[in-house]
Amino acid sequence: MRQKRVAAVHDISGLGKCSLTVALPILSVAGLECCPIPTAVLSNHTGGFKDFTFKDLTEDILPIVSRWKEEKLIFDAIYSGYLGSTRQVDILIETIKQLKSEKTLVVVDPVMGDNGCLYKSFSPEFPGKMRELCQCADVITPNMTEACLMLGESYSPPPYNKDYINSILMKLGSLCKKTVVLTGVSFDKKALGAAALDVETGAISYCFNEKIEGMHHGTGDVFCSVLVSALTLGRDIDFSLKAAVEFTCLSIENTFDFPELWYGVNFEGVLNRLDDILGGIHGSTV
């Protein structure tokens, strides 16, 4: 028997509850071995703190990959998120080539913006470069801002109409191999959720929850880490989408009583519910 293994390529931000500090605990609770490749070390995330320190780890990635390669280990998934530099896109493409086997699921979360804006750590060329990385992915998980940045479309805030969302999904479908998961989808003032497109069949599904007001940092990383966990456990896209929406909402609700937590969500307090939401961790071994 072998425990399933996920290579997680994200930054590590000491403060802020995002990237690896979210992916590691969520994948672990899902019974998966999470093997991190840090793209950069930051004091805190770049979204709202007054400053941040930034140590770029671009030069460390391929030596880590070569060392892992020598161990001849199987990776059931490769999950990438926030990258530390534009050059890291080419390095990630090489990382995927090196670590991927026939059955490896490649999930690219093209983390680069929110609320219509590119994060301040990225150059204007970054979205075009991120498109290249998406071509290597089975699954991509942009939010509406990231989708518009990659497609060169102007961003407008929600609500949207269904035809518009479906056309964005179809355009994103040409950027990746199998599945597009689009977050931040809303058709009215009451509900917010995500949509998924199966690139091969053209089937589109939606999953909504009651909209919770306010801006919640790190929820994209919580959502995507649950989605990757569910897909790696062998759940189908509809189940995985529902699990990711449900756990993200629970995490936000569990933050209401913690006013000091403006920079993230208290997902740790609901990790004990994750096993149930994932339908048990059967599938974490092969």
Pick the stretch among 45-53, 95-103, 154-162, 196-204 that binds ligand PXL (CB under 6 A): 45-53
How many CA atoms, within 13 angstroms, populate the side-chain half-sphere of residue 43?
Answer: 7
Nearest-approach distance from CB 172 to ligand PXL, in angstroms: 19
The DSSP H or E segment spanning 95 is helix 87-99
Please identify which residue in 46, 95, 183, 225 interacts with ligand PXL, judged by CB under 6 A. 46
CA 19/CA 235 separation, integer angstroms? 23
Asked if 212 contacts 252 with a C-beta cutoff of 8 angstroms, the reply is yes
Nearest-approach distance from CB 266 to ligand PXL, in angstroms: 15
- Closer residue to ligand PXL, CB minimum distance, 61 or 199: 61
Nearest-approach distance from CB 224 to ligand PXL, in angstroms: 9
Task: Check residue 82 for interaction with ligand PXL (CB under 6 A).
Answer: yes
Pick the stretch among 40-48, 141-149, 152-160, 266-274 that binds ligand PXL (CB under 6 A): 40-48
CA 212/CA 254 separation, integer angstroms? 12
Task: Check residue 222 for interaction with ligand PXL (CB under 6 A).
Answer: no
Task: Check residue 264 for interaction with ligand PXL (CB under 6 A).
Answer: no
Please identify which residue in 6, 42, 207, 230 interacts with ligand PXL, judged by CB under 6 A. 42
Give the DSSP per-residue string, 144-185.
HHHHHHHHTPPP-PSP--HHHHHHHHHHHHTTSSSEEEEEEE
Task: Check residue 119 for interaction with ligand PXL (CB under 6 A).
Answer: yes
Nearest-approach distance from CB 221 to ligand PXL, in angstroms: 5
Closest CA to 134 of 156, 115, 112: 112
For residues 83 to 112, the per-residue mask of contacts with ligand PXL, x marking binding by CB under 6 A and - elsewhere, is ----------------------------x-
Residues in 4-33 that interact with ligand PXL by CB under 6 A:
11, 13, 18-19
- Burial class from Cβ neighbours inside 10 Å (0-12, 13-18, 19+) for residue 153 reads middle
Task: Check residue 113 for interaction with ligand PXL (CB under 6 A).
Answer: no
Residue with tokens 């030069």: 59
CA 56/CA 156 separation, integer angstroms? 32
Strand, helix or coil for residue 123: coil
The one-letter code for the residue type at 247 is: F
Q: Binders of ligand PXL: how many residues, by CB under 6 A? A: 14
Closest CA to 110 of 85, 140, 89, 84: 140
Nearest-approach distance from CB 152 to ligand PXL, in angstroms: 22
Nearest-approach distance from CB 166 to ligand PXL, in angstroms: 26
Pick the stretch among 137-145, 216-224, 242-250, 276-284 that binds ligand PXL (CB under 6 A): 216-224
CA 127/CA 146 separation, integer angstroms? 8
- Closer residue to ligand PXL, CB minimum distance, 194 or 233: 194
Q: Which spans of this chain sit near ligand PXL (rule: CB under 6 A)?
A: 11, 13, 18-19, 42, 45-47, 82, 111, 119, 218, 220-221
